Amino acid sequence: MIKFFSLSSGSNGNCYYIGNENTAFLIDSGIGPRTVKKRLQEHGIDINSIEFVLVTHDHIDHIKGVGVLSEKYSLPVYATSLLHKSLDNHPCTRCRLSGSVRKCEPHTPTRYKDVEFTPFVVPHDATETVGYHINFNGIKFTFLTDLGEVTQDVIDYCKMSNVIIFESNYDLDMLLEGSYSPELKVRIMQGCGHLSNEQTASAIKRVYHKGLSHIFLCHLSENNNTPAKAYKQVAEALHSIGVKADKDVHLSCLPRREVSDLYTF
């Protein structure tokens, strides 16, 4: 039985857990080790069972806790060569990953015990940002926490997956009418920023297949989105192709500042 839950999802910090009795790991750690430990314990997970961390990119809301976590618990940290060059100099990870550096390259599968993971580059304004396609004992996940545009790789990997974790960052009207500066609005909406609910819904329509059992919407903006708006947009998109949310496929939004429910596969 494979367990999945989010420890935190959004610009306040991102961290996700996948594991079973043999292998357990985190995707990103934009929250500190004490918070990681506390939130893992909420679902009965011992932090000492975590065996490695996958890193998606070098923005602080994804790596704030990676250095201390790796150092304290001697955890290998997997990232691409280009991303590791950045981590070598980032204040959150500099001088903390000695002996923990593990490199994985785009479109090249890497195996760790029961898990095979493949990074692939996505457009986002970091040094390098990747999604991960993960095959865990035959259950296939695709993680897409930050991206400004839906690429063919995104579509292809999602079409192979049973579970997708997909960014749905902002509602366009809320963003345009909100208090952000014009420059920040452009940064978010451009092709290397974040995905709107509409863009995400359109992508979900393209990738849906009968083998897809769960869709988790992640990295929702605190100021420019609501879970209700994100859920509604994707549910309506699914309905337009004859798919009923929460009947034909599970659909939910991952919470920003607390641990999510635990899901098993």
Give the contacts of 57 (CB within 8 A, at least 6 positions apart). 63, 83, 124, 126, 127, 128, 129, 130, 146
Q: Exposed, middle or buried: residue 264 (CB in 10 Å: 0-12, 13-18, 19+)?
A: exposed
In the predicted model, is pLDDT for residue 127 greater than 90? yes
Q: Tell me: the pLDDT tens digits for 54-71?
A: 999 999 999 999 999 999
Query: What's the confidence (pLDDT) of residue 15?
Result: 98
Q: What is the rounded average pLDDT of the residues 33-45?
A: 98
pLDDT class of 120 with cuts at 50, 70, 90? very high
Neighbours of 237 (CB within 10 A): 21
Q: What is the rounded average pLDDT of the residues 43-59?
A: 98
Q: What is the rounded average pLDDT of the residues 105-131?
A: 97
Joined tokens for residue 5: 């839950």
| Residue 230 near residue 180, CB atoms below 8 Å | no
Whole-number Å distance between alpha carbons of 51 and 179: 42
Enter the pTM of the model.
0.97
DSSP character string of 202-245 = HHHHHH--TT--EEEEE---TTT--HHHHHHHHHHHHHTTT--B
> Which SS3 state, helix, strand or coil, does residue 69 take?
helix
Domain ranges of the chain: 3-264
From the options 3.30.465.10, 3.20.20.80, 2.60.98.20, 3.60.15.10, give the CATH code of 3-264: 3.60.15.10
Q: Tell me: the pLDDT tens digits for 154-199?
A: 999 999 999 999 999 999 999 999 999 999 999 999 999 999 999 9
Q: What is the rounded average pLDDT of the residues 80-96?
A: 94
Q: Tell me: the pLDDT tens digits for 3-37?
A: 999 999 999 999 999 999 999 999 999 999 999 99
Mean pLDDT of the chain: 97
Whole-number Å distance between alpha carbons of 232 and 226: 10
Query: What's the confidence (pLDDT) of residue 98?
Result: 86
pLDDT class of 212 with cuts at 50, 70, 90? very high
183 phi and psi, to 5 degrees?
-65, -40
